[in-house]
Structure 1
Amino acid sequence: MPIVPFLKWAGGKRWLISQDQLNPPPTYQRFIEPFLGGAAIYFQLSPVQSIISDINSDLIEFYSVLRDFPDHLSRMMGTHQQQHTKEYYYIQRATTYDTPLERAARFLYLNRTCWNGLYRVNKKGEFNVPIGTKDKVILDTDDFIGASTVLQNSEIRCSDFENTIDEAGQDDFVFVDPPYTVKHNNNNFIKYNESIFSWADQVRLHNAIIRAANRGAYIVICNADHKSIHDLYDDIGEYKQLSRYSVLAGKADKRKKTTEAMYRINFTQ
């Protein structure tokens, strides 16, 4: 059975797996994912060889610790579970730790107990999401050892997406899931990271994808289902509209149906 993702993450792709619409190539050399986030696609595929990256250093440190110290991380999560209260949450949110293991455990603890699993920081880079309604710090689906085993096969990087995609070549499978910004509406995307993903970044991503496809990579990109995105990719990829319910609303009855764009790009066919 595939590893169940450990993190709830804005833009996560668990729903894409449940709809069975990814359809990766039947064979590929490496799996490359430059916007790792909750890693739902990565854990579903459990690739033999991969490069996974994200610009969020806290996120990447968590996956590195999960790979290298799964037992220690599991025990620390047990401690967080025993002590979890509203007061304890805000103490942890305000605490700065010195070791990667402590920071990773705090990161996972906050992700599971904050409001809706949202990752948001202020201008100082401080996590500032209020406490949520969930009390479970350790989940029945947690498989720390299994996740560590899968991650052993991966090069984990804190990196800008362009640097990662520029390493993709012949027979690599690249899954790309950037923040969904669109032209003339740059500020419509909620600022989960310290720097927003601008329209200039979307264009830079498009150019990196073309270079990778020219080197023989097979690319699947999910993005905003918007004319400005269509204008970028319609001439180079096969478009499919995906439908899902928004997961950002705090209450389930407020989550509206929305669409996303998926493009498959493969110049070798």
Structure 2
Amino acid sequence: MSTILKWAGNKSAVMLELAKHLPHGSRLVEPFAGSCAVMMETDYPEYLIADVNPDLINLYVQIQANTSAFLTHAKAMFTQGNNSQLRFNAIRQAFNQGTLKGGSFRAALFLFLNRHCYRGLCRYNQKGQFNVPYGNYKKPYFPEREILAFAEKAKRATFLCAGYQDTLKQLKTGDVVYCDPPYDDTFASYHTSGFNKADQQELANHLEGLASYFPVIASNSDTPYIREIYKGFEVNELTTKRCIGVCAGESKQANEVILTKTPMISFLGLDYARLPYYSAVSRVPQ
């Protein structure tokens, strides 16, 4: 199953390997939504999908709740007349004016920009404006089949615009946590705040605390820094191609890791809200 969006770090190509490390559970919790490839290619009873990018979450919510209206708006935009640098710049400007903060029309604009911009990148400047240039594709693909499949799968999902800290506070018995943050030593400015090494360390500390109670799986670059901050996790190596979409040009091989840790004891009947909160700095229960 292809995804609706072109997306850096899309997990479709590594799902056969990643699936080996995703245990059974009643709900998969993903604090870094990305392209939702993992949701689309797994079969959990429920999903909690979150991201800090409001445009990304609005897209998923609109497809979930207003499928017909979204398709109407999106189809109307994917015309040959709109496939030019002049029209792309005008649509990007309208999107950045932000007069429509949500809704199916803004979601359609976001899909248009993703499928027409350079290599499908998602990048914002410090003012929160989408700033990827025109991609100059002959005929951008309209993912109608993928949209309809997503709308059906999304019946099991709850979408949340939030950071990973707030998302992980909603964990409950039976949850499985999968984190796919922006990778170490790669482009990480998918939103205005970015994701630096201090953020990587904070996330690793947080996940180590959670792994006492929930199965935790994370993906990242295979770098000495990532191996150091996840030294309490099992490290599973893999090699994949690092590219975005079929027109990304010559792809490069990338070394990645799947990091896993499972609880030694099952805390049946306990929700995360009732468990000790682990400090992202000290790892000491507060």
Shift of 1:25: 4.3
Shift of 1:251: 4.6
Q: Bigger shift: 35-44 or 198-207?
A: 198-207
Identity value in percent: 26
Q: How does 1:207-226 map to 2 (within 5 A)?
A: 207-215=205-213, 217-226=214-223
The answer to whether the Cα contact below 8 Å between 2:188 and 2:195 also exists between their aligned partners in 1 is no
1:49 aligned to which of 46, 49, 52 = 46
Distance across 1 between alignment mates of 2:160 and 2:253: 34
Q: Which runs of 5+ in 1 are unaligned?
A: 183-187
Distance across 2 between alignment mates of 1:230 and 1:155: 32
Distance across 2 between alignment mates of 1:46 and 1:105: 27
Check 1:46–1:6 CA distance in 2 against 1; reply closer, same or farther (3 A cut).
farther
Query: Residue 160 of structure 1 aligns with which residue?
Result: 163
Query: Residue 108 of structure 1 aligns with which residue?
Result: 111
Check 1:101–1:127 CA distance in 2 against 1; reply closer, same or farther (3 A cut).
same
The answer to whether the Cα contact below 8 Å between 1:219 and 1:264 also exists between their aligned partners in 2 is yes
The count of aligned residue pairs is: 257
Query: Residue 65 of structure 2 aligns with which residue?
Result: 68
Q: Which runs of 5+ in 2 are unaligned?
A: 266-286
1:261 partnered with 2:257? yes
Check 1:230–1:169 CA distance in 2 against 1; reply closer, same or farther (3 A cut).
farther
SS, match of residue 140 in structure 2: coil
The answer to whether the Cα contact below 8 Å between 1:166 and 1:211 also exists between their aligned partners in 2 is no
Check 1:66–1:204 CA distance in 2 against 1; reply closer, same or farther (3 A cut).
same
Check 1:210–1:251 CA distance in 2 against 1; reply closer, same or farther (3 A cut).
closer
Distance across 1 between alignment mates of 2:206 and 2:157: 22
1:40 partnered with 2:44? no
1:12 partnered with 2:16? no
The answer to whether the Cα contact below 8 Å between 1:65 and 1:73 also exists between their aligned partners in 2 is yes
Q: CA RMSD in A?
A: 2.1
1:132 aligned to which of 125, 132, 135 = 135
1:91 partnered with 2:95? no
Distance across 2 between alignment mates of 1:20 and 1:198: 27
How big is each residue's C-alpha offset from its partner over 1:14-71, in whole Å with a ceiling of 9 and x where there is no partner? 1112x44431445202110000011101111143212110011111111111101111
Shift of 1:166: 3.0
Question: Which amino acid in structure 1 is aligned with residue 203 of structure 2?
Answer: L
Check 1:248–1:44 CA distance in 2 against 1; reply closer, same or farther (3 A cut).
closer
The answer to whether the Cα contact below 8 Å between 2:7 and 2:244 also exists between their aligned partners in 1 is no
Query: Residue 232 of structure 1 aligns with which residue?
Result: 229
SS, match of residue 252 in structure 1: coil
1:30 aligned to which of 27, 31, 38 = 27
1:194 aligned to which of 192, 197, 216 = 192
Query: Residue 185 of structure 1 aligns with which residue?
Result: none
Shift of 1:144: 3.0
How big is each residue's C-alpha offset from its partner over 1:216-255, in whole Å with a ceiling of 9 and x where there is no partner? x111110121111111112x221111101120596532x2
The answer to whether the Cα contact below 8 Å between 2:26 and 2:44 also exists between their aligned partners in 1 is no
Distance across 1 between alignment mates of 2:192 and 2:234: 33
Query: Residue 149 of structure 1 aligns with which residue?
Result: 152
The answer to whether the Cα contact below 8 Å between 2:30 and 2:49 also exists between their aligned partners in 1 is yes
Check 1:127–1:25 CA distance in 2 against 1; reply closer, same or farther (3 A cut).
closer
Question: Which amino acid in structure 1 is aligned with residue 111 of structure 2?
Answer: L
TM-score by length of structure 1 reads: 0.88
How big is each residue's C-alpha offset from its partner over 1:193-213, in whole Å with a ceiling of 9 and x where there is no partner? 111212221122112212221
Distance across 1 between alignment mates of 2:141 and 2:187: 29
1:245 aligned to which of 220, 230, 241 = 241
Distance across 1 between alignment mates of 2:248 and 2:83: 22
